[in-house]
Chains A and B, each alone.
Chain A
């Protein structure tokens, strides 16, 4: 296991080392300063504004900003739904797929427009290359950019000296796309192709195997999508088995690059934040709180997976490490990834809002499976989604400032702005929308016959699958205990005879949409409320937010809110399973 810890240590070291340079670069981009790409992208950017008929210098107040964001997302949803419904007439459709069931399309459109990328469909068996590219890859780009927009608006609310302007949505969107997401995707995509991740428009090749069987090798424009799937904390795989598929994640190098891509931008944004508020320590203290929770999860999950499962032990496998084999629970894991890289990915993908997987979470041990669920239960503020993670974290920061202020009897202030009743009401709502959505939908799904149809495994694992499904969708994550289904495809590949489980598809779709956009509007409202406030100079009565004490308080608040909300539900699923060796 020492090798496993070394992998974790080096990985985190690289992530920390890349945070300042990328963070600094993004701060320059978002404050309108020149960067090395400006000479190439500047003209394209200006042309875009003309084509979209917007004036990028026009400051928007929170309502205008929110209106632009919501309308853009509504039209994105419509476009994606139409693309998914018209597969029969698509170009780039070598397998000749027609459209799938409408309820699955509803779920998929909601899923990709909300940056969730939950997948009831299987990519290689249901979607045309045109849907994958024009439909899904597009949303893989624009939804993290929307996340960055909300974050930038929030930061401007905090640092605003006067007035109500939060910046311009169209400018923030365009800059995030052109200067951050596109160049990084090109780099990551080409690295992936150089290692064997496929990138082609040809259909499946039929091989005759050495022993004479037929094997159809499904391919597609994979690397271009996987790059932004990882970088944009999207997570929706080109193939049904996501980054466990060798054509999506070919070797240890691609695994490292894809894993790093999950955390790269969310981590660097904390530095960008410090830069933009003019106090680098504020960014680092948030980073520290994130890292602390992340490490706690990693320390639990690796030994849990190394231990093996009750089923494997009952079958007579010792699951111990021996020479030439790591041992552990290898059900659903790839040999080239092994235990450590699988478990590290399982943690990273769920504390952020990525949701891609390189192993089957449904086959994790009870305790190992509890970690991804707890990662989701922290509402993805541990690095979190691109933009989303940090603005959600800032809600917790405001809450911690408020609670800390109450405890020591000081006026709650954050970076000179008084936190008052209106902000705290909005913050509380913003924090509670997602957990409430999770518990209500899970309750509905396990209490109704229509909900139970989606479950695959017997016993507590069946409950875990349901809880996980709604945790993941409400948090806009997209990873799954994948036995849970909303789509049946008797004649795969192709959509002939396929049908959806409407209850799961529609409830999930509605949950993802609501849990994405309601908090966004609330966050923008908080930003609008903060923007108009005077900045009061820090005095002896100000509680500092860049100290280890505050980091501990912040972690405490996050853990407390998460634990109080989800502990009873976790007891019924993964906790039961990790306490028993009984089989079901």
Chain B
């Protein structure tokens, strides 16, 4: 028994050193050399200032920007949790109903034919992470009308920008296409800056 106990303790120490320290630290070293940008959080800077990460969504409220999905955390990237809204929950019904109404109110002035049935599900439900960087193509397409009007761009120009910031499926098979909101909005700011009126209501 004593011998087994000593071996057990030695094994805990040895494997903690190898798998708990050497392995993650070596992986960090290799990653920092081989993929410095990706390993460090895919950061995006504008004029040398950190504005976010291309993988992490952020809040946009101005009419001149594409809006991300609703978030249970207000796009917190250091305190994440699920909405945990159940399938038969009254709160979920109310939240979806409000999101749906607000989406139509915001976009209908620019896209007269918009009805509730046209609103894609991603626009009115909360994502898993609360920092979903993407929206669906259908969602972007509806919002494009608003962006084009506010920024005085042609609809086709906005649609081109959407296409340029859409991530496709892996190997054409896996996952769903999505439009990266932060990158798209940064591209818009470069293309047609919102000057005096920054697009806020």
Known: A72-B8, A72-B11, A341-B176. Is A200-B40 also a contact (CB below 8 A)? yes
Chain A positions 293 through 320: 1 when the CB is less than 8 Å from some CB of chain B, otherwise 0: 0000000000000001111101111111
Cβ-defined contact, B79 with A198, below 8 A: no
User: Does chain B have a CB within 8 A of A189?
Assistant: yes
- Beyond the given A72-B11, A195-B38, please list 15 additional residue pairs across the A-B interface where CB-CB is below 8 A: A52-B7, A72-B8, A72-B12, A124-B78, A200-B31, A209-B51, A211-B59, A240-B81, A310-B88, A327-B121, A329-B87, A335-B122, A336-B176, A363-B86, A492-B79
User: Does chain A have a CB within 8 A of B192?
Assistant: no
> How many chain A residues have a CB neighbour from B under 8 Å?
139
8 Å CB contact of B24 from A190, A225, A315? A225
Question: A residues touching B (Cβ–Cβ < 8 Å)?
Answer: 3, 6-7, 10-11, 48, 51-54, 67-68, 71-72, 74-76, 79, 122, 124-125, 133-135, 137-138, 140-142, 170, 173, 177, 182, 185-186, 189-190, 193-202, 204-211, 213, 215-219, 221, 223-225, 228, 239-241, 244-247, 250-253, 255-256, 308-312, 314-320, 322-339, 341-342, 357-360, 362-366, 368-369, 456-461, 481-483, 492-493, 577, 580-584
Beta-carbon nearest neighbor of A240 in chain B = B80
Cβ-defined contact, B174 with A255, below 8 A: yes
8 Å CB contact of A223 from B31, B69, B174? B31
For A368, the chain B residues whose CB sits under 8 A away are 87
User: Does chain A have a CB within 8 A of B113?
Assistant: no
8 Å CB contact of B90 from A202, A309, A311, A326? A311
Cβ-defined contact, B170 with A252, below 8 A: yes
Within residues 90 to 114 of chain B, which ones have a CB less than 8 A from any CB in chain A?
A: 90, 92-97, 100
Beta-carbon nearest neighbor of A344 in chain B = B174
CA–CA, A206 and B117, complex, Å: 39
Beta-carbon nearest neighbor of A339 in chain B = B176
Beta-carbon nearest neighbor of A95 in chain B = B78
Nearest chain B CB to A59 CB, angstrom units? 15
8 Å CB contact of B4 from A71, A124, A316? A71
For A308, the chain B residues whose CB sits under 8 A away are 121
Cβ-defined contact, A79 with B16, below 8 A: yes
Beta-carbon nearest neighbor of B21 in chain A = A134
Beta-carbon nearest neighbor of B182 in chain A = A210
CA–CA, A3 and B168, complex, Å: 13
Nearest chain B CB to A541 CB, angstrom units? 43
Nearest chain A CB to B167 CB, angstrom units? 7
For A53, the chain B residues whose CB sits under 8 A away are 3, 6-7, 10
For A213, the chain B residues whose CB sits under 8 A away are 58-59
Cβ-defined contact, B27 with A51, below 8 A: no
Cβ-defined contact, B125 with A312, below 8 A: yes
Cβ-defined contact, A332 with B85, below 8 A: yes
Cβ-defined contact, B87 with A311, below 8 A: yes
5 A-B pairs (CB sep. < 8 Å): A208-B51, A219-B41, A244-B82, A316-B116, A332-B128
For B127, the chain A residues whose CB sits under 8 A away are 244, 330, 332-335
Within residues 1 to 46 of chain B, which ones have a CB less than 8 A from any CB in chain A?
A: 1, 3-12, 14-16, 19-21, 23-25, 27-28, 30-32, 34-35, 38-43, 46
Cβ-defined contact, B88 with A122, below 8 A: no
CA–CA, A71 and B167, complex, Å: 50
Cβ-defined contact, A196 with B42, below 8 A: yes
Cβ-defined contact, A216 with B8, below 8 A: no
Cβ-defined contact, B27 with A48, below 8 A: no
8 Å CB contact of A198 from B7, B39, B83? B39
Known: A67-B4, A199-B39, A245-B80. Is A362-B86 also a contact (CB below 8 A)? yes
Known: A210-B189, A365-B87. Is A324-B136 also a contact (CB below 8 A)? yes
Nearest chain B CB to A241 CB, angstrom units? 4
> Top 7 A-B pairs ranked by shortest CB distance?
A252-B175, A244-B128, A324-B138, A338-B176, A325-B120, A324-B137, A252-B170
CA–CA, A357 and B80, complex, Å: 14
8 Å CB contact of A309 from B9, B19, B87? B87
Beta-carbon nearest neighbor of A340 in chain B = B176
Cβ-defined contact, A325 with B8, below 8 A: no
For A186, the chain B residues whose CB sits under 8 A away are 23, 27
For B182, the chain A residues whose CB sits under 8 A away are 210
Cβ-defined contact, B82 with A245, below 8 A: no
For A133, the chain B residues whose CB sits under 8 A away are 20-21, 24-25
8 Å CB contact of A79 from B12, B39, B78? B12
Nearest chain B CB to A315 CB, angstrom units? 4
Nearest chain B CB to A78 CB, angstrom units? 8
User: Does chain A have a CB within 8 A of B149?
Assistant: no
Known: A122-B79, A240-B80. Is A317-B100 also a contact (CB below 8 A)? yes
Cβ-defined contact, B89 with A461, below 8 A: yes
User: Does chain A have a CB within 8 A of B201?
Assistant: no
Nearest chain B CB to A240 CB, angstrom units? 5
For A460, the chain B residues whose CB sits under 8 A away are 88
User: Does chain A have a CB within 8 A of B55?
Assistant: yes
8 Å CB contact of B93 from A217, A328, A332, A583? A583
User: Does chain A have a CB within 8 A of B186?
Assistant: yes
CA–CA, A194 and B89, complex, Å: 40
Cβ-defined contact, A317 with B124, below 8 A: yes
For B15, the chain A residues whose CB sits under 8 A away are 138, 141-142, 177
Cβ-defined contact, A311 with B96, below 8 A: yes
For B75, the chain A residues whose CB sits under 8 A away are 215
Nearest chain A CB to B50 CB, angstrom units? 5
Cβ-defined contact, B5 with A71, below 8 A: yes
Cβ-defined contact, B58 with A185, below 8 A: no
8 Å CB contact of B97 from A207, A250, A316, A342? A316
Cβ-defined contact, B79 with A125, below 8 A: yes
Cβ-defined contact, A193 with B39, below 8 A: yes
Cβ-defined contact, B178 with A68, below 8 A: no
CA–CA, A77 and B21, complex, Å: 18
Cβ-defined contact, A315 with B96, below 8 A: yes
Beta-carbon nearest neighbor of A328 in chain B = B121
Cβ-defined contact, A202 with B14, below 8 A: no
Cβ-defined contact, A482 with B82, below 8 A: yes
Nearest chain B CB to A421 CB, angstrom units? 31
CA–CA, A245 and B128, complex, Å: 8
8 Å CB contact of B173 from A10, A54, A135, A246? A10
Cβ-defined contact, B175 with A360, below 8 A: no
Beta-carbon nearest neighbor of B58 in chain A = A209
Cβ-defined contact, A335 with B176, below 8 A: yes
For B164, the chain A residues whose CB sits under 8 A away are none
Cβ-defined contact, B88 with A583, below 8 A: yes
User: Does chain A have a CB within 8 A of B191?
Assistant: no
Greatest chain B CB density within 10 A among A213, A216, A456 is at A213
For B124, the chain A residues whose CB sits under 8 A away are 315, 317
Cβ-defined contact, B27 with A363, below 8 A: no
